Chain A
Amino acid sequence: MNEVIREFLIETNENLAQLDVDLVTLEKDPTERETLGRVFRTLHTVKGTAGFLGLQKLQAVAHAAESLLSQLRAGELVFNPPIASALLKVVDAVRTMLESVERSETDGDGDFSALIETLDRLRVAAPVVSPPMVTPAAKQPPTPVMTAVPEIRPPAPPSSGPPSLVMTQSSLHDAAESRAPAIADTSIRVDVNLLDKLMTLVGELVLARNQIMQYSASQEDTPFVRTVQRLNLLTTELQAGVMKTRMQPIGTIWSKFPRVVRDLAVACAKQVHIDLEGQETELDKTIIEAIRDPLTHLVRNAIDHGIEPPRERLARGKAEEGRLALRAFHEGGKVIIEINDDGAGIDPQRIRAKAIKAKLVTPEQADRLSSRDLVNLIFLPGFSTADQVTQFSGRGVGMDVVRTNIERIGGSVTIDSRPGIGATVRMKIPLTLAIIPALTITSAGERYAIPQVSLLELVRLEGESKQRGIEQIQGTPVYRLRGNLLPLVYLERALRADNAPANGHKKRNGADPADDAQAATNIVVLQADDRQFGLVVDAIHDTEEIVVKPLQKQLKDLRAFAGATIMGDGRVALILDVLGLAQAANVISGVRERALSEKAAAAAEPTGDRQTVLLFANSDGSRGAIPLSQVARLEEFPRSALERLGLLEMVQYRDEILPLIHVSRALRQRPPSKNGRSNAWRSSDESLATTAGDPIQVVVYSGAGRQVGLVVDRIVDIVEETLVSRSDAHRRGVMFTAVIQGRATEFLDVEAILTSLDAELVEPPHTITTQA
């Protein structure tokens, strides 16, 4: 393609993005003279260059727009919404023609006469300015002189106009305001492919550095070791530098949102104000590209489904104008992007109805889901809440695509919806994909890398502490980490073919490989989503910078791996996908199981409402259960340890007093009368007399910042269960009854029991969150 045309395309595309922003600004504040001037200049340049290149239609459109703008500038007209709409249409028309120029070097066969007519009509009757071809302000002579082209180009604001990336540190906002030549002088255009290539090379250099570092560790030659140190430092700096060149402020994709929001709001007859915060937050270019579409989708969703029409808003006591806020900020080595609207929120019941209608869940499954889980159903493939397909949303690109795209780059999405008040979608995005710090570990003789961002801490258990530390409750291993039960996943087992993800149940037989040996047990504590779990590995090595390489398509289906890397010794190591691993091991339960939508799989083995619960038997023979997440510990106390204080029973436990509740009695009791204390607290002869030798089994319940001991007859099992059927509670203190292992099992509502029990003994909870 002609170099002049190429330059023109790049320039104009960048300017168009700015035009969108400027026009929306002007619509809000017509007195912004500086912005008006900029819009005028941009269109003027387009017109001039189009004329120079012989693109007559483009020139005519730009000319009509320029005439209108010149009247605005002269104050003969006031900027108003119809003008804004017309000018935005001009931007679109220019864009269409530019695309055609890029394809065929002509401005295409589109008919823009209606638009020109509209523009002309908007002008007050005034003499038409000079004919399109020659304008006084156009600097270039009509004959094609190559050197004239750079002259007519205004310094460009940095933006993501493909295919180049403008390297400048200033944010979009700054650059938009200061169009001083200084910026153009200090930045140069670099082809993105070149940057990609540089990045790959730096990746290789990091690998070579790692290799030589490993080698130098065994050397005593001081000058050599020193040189390696220097090489190490330089490589690190070079890597940081090259990575920085690929960083772009998120504002580059946000800049189009004011326009998108405006158009959409107009189309939906809604009023929406958009706030952008943290536009200067920088992300790697590949990540920016990857989140562009999901973000647009979410913004559209928020306006189309979230924000209510003005009348409805007024009726609900809200301001007529809806607010949409986009925030970006750094948190814990990741970038958080929040899209918040003050609209109607997401109605869990509506989601439920839709999901059932779309056969994504059965009514029975849906009944068991909490409202938060229900809201998360919108991430399932094939889900659309739009009652009718509008121009803007409900056209198949669902939230599942949003989630898939975000997860593909190692991010995560969550929704927080408050019906009637609004909804917030929160995305966690890694800063960069190419080179990450990672911990290397060994399992079953192979090395694996674990991205440092998921890493919380390392625990090493030796000798006696190992014996005590890991408890095998019916084959489900847990570790007590500072008072919390940490579910354990044995990596070797999780990666064995016979424990494929399809088989959700944990193996209950056989000793753990890690237990056989006398060696220490290494636990890597990881964060997956909002859950923590411990990964048991054979050995833990260093952390080092690794270069992430994607897996080829033959291995793409493996959710346990995020990619592969080449280690210092030249061998390949797989990078563990912590989230995928957690899902495969069922540490993360519930709706995240996408298998939910696969009806065939559901028929064979219903997944879906899976959760890990502790089963226990009461002295009256009934079965009870509480979610394992509420269990801090399981304890056995000799009956001699029981102490009485008045009517209460308690044990001394870790230098504190642990009040005890007899579950069977708590459930049996009537609602407490005004003066009556419940007898569930009370020790009775029964409890001390029977089988005096046996220790009592206590489930230490932890919730709302306190602990109580639930006395049960015996612990039965820890199971990961799909609750097959569920009926409402028929007595106080029970949330619902479900069938587990073929037996009716009552799910305790411990908070309810506590509240209904002696309020003097235990402070009432601030919040009650005991969702099954």
Chain B
Amino acid sequence: MTVADSHQYCTFYVDGHYFGLDVLRVQEVIRFQQMTRVPLASPVVRGLINLRGQIVTAIDLRRRLELSDRPAEQLPLNVVIQTDDGAVSLLVDEIGDVLVVPANLFERAPETLHGPARELICGAYKLPDCLLLILDTDRTVNVTGCGHLQHAKDA
């Protein structure tokens, strides 16, 4: 991540946490779409959606971050991001604003961070009222071997 004077982030909420993604990587945000379940896949992958003729894999950020599943009645939103391998959708709880944050508020993730967060969060912005956690996009969409044990049942 380049630390310029200020940076733009697309922000959203996942299980009460406030996250941000580099706005340049975000293609669009769309409401909940019908998904086709993919049996035998990593439980992190919730399904496939049809995005105007393009088949897009939907990754549940709650599961990716090993947080608890969202209640069944709560429909997630799709944050569609661009990757080398085409568009990928991240399922989030709620969408926030696009924020411009000054670089001097940024701090690297503390060494004491553990779990999946350590791998996925590259740092945080110390906003006045909360922390904005910045996700590493490429690591987030790389789901190789994650979550198999925890959610194997309800996949």
Q: Residue A121 at the B interface, CB < 8 A?
A: no
The winner among A447, A552, A558 for most chain B CB atoms within 10 A is A552
Inter-subunit contact A554/B45 (CB<8 Å): yes
Inter-subunit contact A495/B39 (CB<8 Å): yes
Q: Residue B59 at the A interface, CB < 8 A?
A: yes
Q: Residue B34 at the A interface, CB < 8 A?
A: yes
In the bound assembly, the distance between CA atoms of A444 and B36 in angstroms comes to 12
Q: Residue A573 at the B interface, CB < 8 A?
A: yes
Kindly identify which residue among A496, A561, A566 contacts B50, using a CB–CB cutoff of 8 Å. Answer: A566
Q: Residue B72 at the A interface, CB < 8 A?
A: no
Residues of B within 8 A of A501 (CB): 40
What are 28 A-B pairs at a CB distance below 8 A? Answer: A207-B53, A495-B39, A497-B40, A497-B152, A497-B155, A498-B152, A501-B40, A549-B54, A549-B55, A552-B55, A552-B86, A553-B85, A554-B42, A554-B57, A554-B142, A555-B41, A558-B38, A558-B40, A570-B50, A571-B36, A571-B50, A572-B35, A572-B36, A572-B48, A572-B49, A572-B55, A573-B36, A574-B38
Inter-subunit contact A555/B45 (CB<8 Å): yes
In the bound assembly, the distance between CA atoms of A279 and B98 in angstroms comes to 59
Residues of B within 8 A of A204 (CB): 53
In the bound assembly, the distance between CA atoms of A572 and B45 in angstroms comes to 14
Having A497-B40, A554-B41, one finds 5 other A-B pairs with CB under 8 Å, namely A555-B45, A558-B38, A561-B38, A566-B53, A572-B55
Q: Residue B105 at the A interface, CB < 8 A?
A: no
Inter-subunit contact A572/B155 (CB<8 Å): no
Residues of A within 8 A of B88 (CB): 552, 554
Residues of A within 8 A of B55 (CB): 549, 551-552, 564-566, 572
Inter-subunit contact B85/A446 (CB<8 Å): no
Minimal Cβ-Cβ distance residue in A for B141: A554
Interface bits A536-556 vs B (CB < 8 Å: 1, else 0): 000000000000010111110
Interface residues of A in 120-135 (CB under 8 A from B): none
Residues of B within 8 A of A495 (CB): 39-40
Chain B: how many interface residues by the 8 Å CB criterion? 30
Q: Residue A560 at the B interface, CB < 8 A?
A: yes
The winner among B34, B36, B47 for most chain A CB atoms within 10 A is B36
In the bound assembly, the distance between CA atoms of A572 and B85 in angstroms comes to 18
Residues of B within 8 A of A207 (CB): 53
Residues of B within 8 A of A564 (CB): 36, 48, 55
Instruction: For residue A104, give the distance in angstroms from its CB to the closest CB of chain B.
Output: 28
Q: Residue A716 at the B interface, CB < 8 A?
A: no
Q: How many A-B residue pairs have CB under 8 A?
A: 72
Minimal Cβ-Cβ distance residue in A for B52: A204
Instruction: For residue B84, give the distance in angstroms from its CB to the closest CB of chain A.
Output: 9
Q: Residue A688 at the B interface, CB < 8 A?
A: no
The winner among B48, B59, B85, B152 for most chain A CB atoms within 10 A is B48
Kindly identify which residue among A446, A554, A560 contacts B40, using a CB–CB cutoff of 8 Å. Answer: A560
Interface residues of A in 37-74 (CB under 8 A from B): none
Interface bits B51-90 vs A (CB < 8 Å: 1, else 0): 0011111010000000000000000000000000110100
Interface residues of A in 433-470 (CB under 8 A from B): 444, 446-447
In the bound assembly, the distance between CA atoms of A552 and B81 in angstroms comes to 13
Interface residues on chain A, size class: 20 to 34
Minimal Cβ-Cβ distance residue in B for A444: B39
Q: Residue B153 at the A interface, CB < 8 A?
A: yes
Inter-subunit contact A555/B50 (CB<8 Å): no
Minimal Cβ-Cβ distance residue in A for B49: A572
Instruction: For residue A83, give the distance in angstroms from its CB to the closest CB of chain B.
Output: 50
Residues of A within 8 A of B41 (CB): 554-555, 558
Interface residues of A in 484-504 (CB under 8 A from B): 495-498, 500-501
Q: Residue B103 at the A interface, CB < 8 A?
A: no
Minimal Cβ-Cβ distance residue in A for B34: A571
| The 8 residue pairs across chains A and B that have the minimum distance between CB atoms | A495-B39, A572-B36, A572-B48, A552-B57, A549-B55, A564-B55, A553-B85, A554-B143
Inter-subunit contact B36/A446 (CB<8 Å): yes
Residues of B within 8 A of A500 (CB): 40
Instruction: For residue A560, give the distance in angstroms from its CB to the closest CB of chain B.
Output: 6
In the bound assembly, the distance between CA atoms of A356 and B54 in angstroms comes to 47
Residues of A within 8 A of B49 (CB): 572
Instruction: For residue A65, give the distance in angstroms from its CB to the closest CB of chain B.
Output: 45
Minimal Cβ-Cβ distance residue in B for A584: B40
Residues of B within 8 A of A444 (CB): 39
Inter-subunit contact B53/A572 (CB<8 Å): no
Residues of B within 8 A of A561 (CB): 38
In the bound assembly, the distance between CA atoms of A566 and B34 in angstroms comes to 12
Q: Residue B25 at the A interface, CB < 8 A?
A: no
Residues of A within 8 A of B153 (CB): 497-498
Residues of B within 8 A of A498 (CB): 152-153
Kindly identify which residue among B40, B50, B152 contacts A572, using a CB–CB cutoff of 8 Å. Answer: B50
Residues of A within 8 A of B34 (CB): 571
Instruction: For residue A436, give the distance in angstroms from its CB to the closest CB of chain B.
Output: 16
Inter-subunit contact A446/B37 (CB<8 Å): yes
Interface bits B130-155 vs A (CB < 8 Å: 1, else 0): 00000000000111000000001101
Interface bits A492-524 vs B (CB < 8 Å: 1, else 0): 000111101100000000000000000000000
In the bound assembly, the distance between CA atoms of A447 and B37 in angstroms comes to 10
In the bound assembly, the distance between CA atoms of A11 and B65 in angstroms comes to 55
Interface residues of B in 13-56 (CB under 8 A from A): 34-42, 44-45, 47-50, 53-56
In the bound assembly, the distance between CA atoms of A329 and B59 in angstroms comes to 44
Minimal Cβ-Cβ distance residue in B for A207: B53
The winner among B37, B41, B153 for most chain A CB atoms within 10 A is B41
Interface residues of A in 365-409 (CB under 8 A from B): none
Instruction: For residue A198, give the distance in angstroms from its CB to the closest CB of chain B.
Output: 15
In the bound assembly, the distance between CA atoms of A207 and B52 in angstroms comes to 11
In the bound assembly, the distance between CA atoms of A551 and B38 in angstroms comes to 11
Minimal Cβ-Cβ distance residue in B for A564: B55
